[in-house]
Amino acid sequence: MADRFAHFLAIDWSGAKGPRQKGIALAIADAAGGPPVLVDAGRGWSREDVLILLRDDLPDETLVGLDLGIALPHSDCGAFFPRNRVLLPDAPALWALIDDICSEEPNLGANNFVAHPDYRAYFRDGSDTGKHFGCDGAGHGRGRFRVTEQAQAEMGCKPYSNFNLVGAAQVGKSSLTGMRMLHRLRGHLPVWPVDPMAQSGSVVVEIYTSLAALEAGRSPSKAKMRTFEDLNEALGALGSPAVAGAGAIDDHATDALLTAAWLRHVAHDRARWSPQGLTEKIARTEGWTFGAL
């Protein structure tokens, strides 16, 4: 993968309600060097804005990192939704189902899916823990996990189940909204490892910003950075030039900036593209988090 990509775009995503989300931040790093930079800082991104950028305005040969889960657990129970009449063969079928059920919902929202009578029992929301939140009721209290999330945990991270919709650290809503976007990008951008890797062109991968922070020398409890000084120390650990500024900075911006530099730093490493535990079936159904070894 050395010299394959010319740009590295990291997107800190959000599943929050509303037309624009404060939690969305984009940063890009150039393969030629220099500090990572925020893309249209302060504009107030919507999820549709990001979709349009990725579909129509993405620079050539860009490695795009999306901070969300690109699929739901499958390997643990042999299905995304065990005991459900709808059997989905792979992640693209899951994306299509979610987008179809939520087709009338604005802002790429996914509330209609988690409220759907056929699927609500698989999620934990603010008022209810569905009877299928674990694998046929036998899962632990944190819910079901993909194989890649188990690998994240072994690396020192604390992943959350994509079926969990509760708490500040929940990732379920952001992942489901992201899956709607991935469905709408079919035919425009391949998603690793769900799709075969071409010899050229841009590619989307799932990222977990805490992995970038860990590799930059941050502890799991200090993965979030809220000052330029902390950000630039982490960037330096990845061999990246510092960004200009001092004092406070939004942690969504720091997540995007650091992870863009991290993608540039590690994308050439072939081991990242062939992690232990990634089988062909897992690639098509659950996907994988880039950098989880």
Q: Residue 255's pLDDT is what?
A: 97
C-alpha neighbours within 13 Å on the C-beta side of residue 133: 18
Domain membership of residue 108 (yes or no) is no
* C-alpha span between 279 and 45 (Å, rounded): 35
Structure tokens at 186: 């079919």
**Chain centroid to CA 257:** 15
User: Position 179: which residue type?
Assistant: M
Instruction: For residue 61, count CB atoms less than 10 angstroms from its CB and return exposed for 0-12, middle for 13-18, buried for 19 or more.
Output: middle
Helical spans, DSSP H, in 171-250:
172-184, 209-215, 228-237
- Is 22 within a domain? yes
Q: Is residue 96 part of a domain?
A: no
Structural domain including 228 reads 7-70+184-273
* Amino acid at the residue 77: C
Assess if residue 218 is contained within a domain.
yes
**Can you say how many angstroms the Cα of residue 247 is from the centroid of all Cα atoms in its chain?**
28
* Domain membership flag for residue 287: no
**pLDDT score at 136:** 63
Q: Is 151 helix (H, G, I), strand (E, B) or coil?
A: helix
pLDDT value, residue 1 = 56
Identity at 290, one-letter amino acid code: F
> Could you tell me if residue 175 is inside a domain?
no
Query: Do 143 and 133 contact (CB within 8 A), yes or no?
Result: yes
Domain for residue 282, yes or no?
A: no
What's the structural domain count of the chain?
Answer: 1
Position 103 in a domain: no
**pLDDT means per 10 residues in the chain (293 residues)?**
86 92 95 97 92 96 97 95 92 98 97 95 87 70 91 90 84 94 97 94 96 93 94 98 97 97 96 95 98 93
Q: Length of the chain, please?
A: 293
> What is the SS3 assignment for 116?
coil
Give the single-character DSSP code of 143. -
| C-alpha–C-alpha distance, residues 103 and 26, integer Å | 26
228-237 helix and 251-266 helix, angle to the nearest 10 degrees:
10
Please answer whether residues 211 and 218 qualify as being in contact, where contact means their C-beta atoms are separated by less than 8 angstroms: no
User: Is residue 36 within 8 Å of 241, Cβ to Cβ?
Assistant: no
User: What is the reported pLDDT for 127?
Assistant: 76
